[in-house]
Amino acid sequence: MVIFRRLLILSLMLITLGANAQDPEIWGTFKISGKLNDKWTVEVEGEDRYNFDANQSRYFHYDIGALYSINKSFKVGLFYRNIFETKGDVVTKIALPHADVNFSNSGFKFRTRLEYIMKYGDYENKFRLRLRPGYQTHFWKNFNPFIQDEIFLSDVDEFSRNRLNIGISIKVGNFTLQPGYLLESNHKDLWANKNILWINTKIKF
């Protein structure tokens, strides 16, 4: 119960921070994964991001790749992602191959992701490192709160973005629903916050 109280306190802190945020959005993510054998898993993901201020879907990506299980705690994977960003009538296409290293043990999770961002047009391609620690409780069988924080390092060493997410994981058979609140902080000249309702759904085969 100590962890639950801490999650409750943190959720109140997130609401306080989010009160000063701009650009409210709703994100919907849908992921399907299936085991090929004891070691290999294939994953396909799609995500849409709707911005209420702009009154439009500003972002969509699809992602496909495979994970290899080294042991019960470690997995490594290679993925390819296509991104379509919309501003007004202009759509920008981005290719984003990435390599993941995942660790999980007793509810604690840590994902390291190295991305290579390739925009079409006049843009300097670059690497980006993403670090995401997280924890999910195991109070109940199919209904548990979770928290995770993701740090973005542009050019691998410049802290440019942070995503703090808290929510509930609801599991029914092979289907998992994870609604939650996400506070995204982006740094350009100054830091700016964004309120996001994130609905994450997963199906495993």
Q: What is the pLDDT of residues 86-145, one digit of tens each?
A: 988 999 999 999 999 999 999 999 999 999 999 877 778 899 999 999 999 988 889 999
pLDDT, averaged across the chain:
90
Tokens found for residue 197: 């309702």
Give the domain range for residue 7: 2-204
- Phi/psi-derived region of residue 18, left when phi > 0, alpha when psi is between -120 and 50, beta in every other case: alpha
Nearest of 66, 68, 137, 123 to residue 92 by alpha carbon:
123
Q: Tell me, what's the pLDDT at 3?
A: 47
Q: Tell me, what's the pLDDT at 18?
A: 47
Q: What is the pLDDT of residues 65-75, one digit of tens each?
A: 999 999 999 99
E-state strands within the chain: 22-35, 40-51, 56-69, 74-87, 90-105, 108-119, 126-136, 143-154, 158-172, 175-187, 191-204
Instruction: Report residue 16 CA to chain centroid gap.
Output: 22
Tokens found for residue 130: 């993403």
Q: If you average pLDDT over residues 39-54, what whole number do you get?
A: 96
Cα separation of 147 and 141, whole Å?
17
Residue 105 belongs to a domain with what CATH number?
2.40.160
Q: How sure is the predictor about 23, in pLDDT bands with cuts at 50, 70 and 90?
A: confident
Q: How many domains does the chain have?
A: 1
